[in-house]
Amino acid sequence: MTIRILAAGDHFVRNSLFGDALRREVPGGVDLSELTLPWPVQPFGRVGEVDEASDVEDELIEALRGVEVCVTQMAPLTKRVLDASPDLRLFCVSRGGPVNANLEAAARAGVAVTYAPGRNAVATAEHTLAMLLAATRRIPQTHGDLAGGVWRGDYYTYDNVGPELDGSTVGLVGYGAIGSRVARMLEGFGAEVLVHDPYVDLPGKVELDELLRRSRFVSLHARATPETAGMIGAAELAAMPRGSVLVNCARGALLDYDALCDALDSGHLFGAATDVFPEEPIPAGSRLLTTPNLVMTPHLAGASKETAMKAASIVAADVARYVRGEPLAHLATP
């Protein structure tokens, strides 16, 4: 007997990817319906009591009628959606964390929520290295000048050139799936890697103050939790050596962006690069838009074709476990 599954994909993790993965993984076939969400053409935001979701509660409620399993990336699993979807038993979020699901309400309703850890680890690690090099070698600024018909020789002056990775110390704040990959890449550049992460058992890891004091480059890879919110502020930036570089491809909540702009304006930091922000999209008039030596990308560090395919495959594998009556591998609800 087949089960009814809703694929609520978007323009990144497409419904076709979910469909292919489900047909490959799920025994006995699936009765699949589809709902296409507008992300990333339309930004995600807060929906009801959940974060980083597409604002499609009404459409989702309608599409979930009679559905037992939903696979998605951005659909909002709110209390309102749960109350209106009595047949739902499994909600699979194809992201590294199910921030768009109300886990407590789901548990009370008897709905299991799974997620897809590590789906974008390779893409984000590669993007981190690209951002670090772009900020250090002034690639966006020099390209912009050349595209505007300006050849600036002063970029070659001693004060305007950045350090090399080879022989430099790079501090990684967080050593999970992404941070550990960045470390391996950096070792290939000849860098010395320091790590601060209270949640991993790693020989030689250091406290945050020591990492900041010793590192010419610092890259953030911690998860956003109440403990890590604002962990890099004015005092932490001031502790970094003058002329150093900061990269944040993790979460905007980790960093005080006003303090970052101050450190760049004063010249204390040689450069910085960030893929995440305290408010997304960046509001008009933000200091981030005019601060010098800051490289920015619009929260796309994890964007690769492989990320989308892995995301669909990870959740499809948990759907298959559900169908076979096996324990779920990536369960987020109690």
Is the preceding peptide bond at 40 cis, omega within 30 degrees of 0?
yes
Phi, psi for residue 50 in degrees, rounded to 5: -115, 160
Report whether 100 contacts 295 (CB < 8 A).
no
Residue 203 tokens, joined: 């020989």
Structure tokens at 280: 């997304």
Query: Which of 34, 68, 192, 280 is labelled catalytic?
Result: 280
Angle at 101 between CA 97 and CA 94, to 5 degrees: 45
Q: Are strands 50-53 and 45-47 parallel, antiparallel or unpaired?
A: antiparallel
Closest CA to 245 of 260, 233, 227: 260
89 catalytic? Reply is no
Question: Are 300 and 276 a contacting pair, CB within 8 Å?
Answer: no
326 part of the active site = no
Out of 251, 268, 287, 330, which one is annotated catalytic? 251
User: What's the rounded Cα separation, in Å, for the pair 191 and 169?
Assistant: 6
Catalytic residue at 127?
Answer: no
Distance (Å, rounded) from C-alpha 195 to C-alpha 179?
9
Rounded Cα distance, 30 and 69, in Å: 10
Q: Catalytic residue, from 196, 216, 299, 330: name it.
A: 299
Give me the active site residues, please.
251, 280, 299
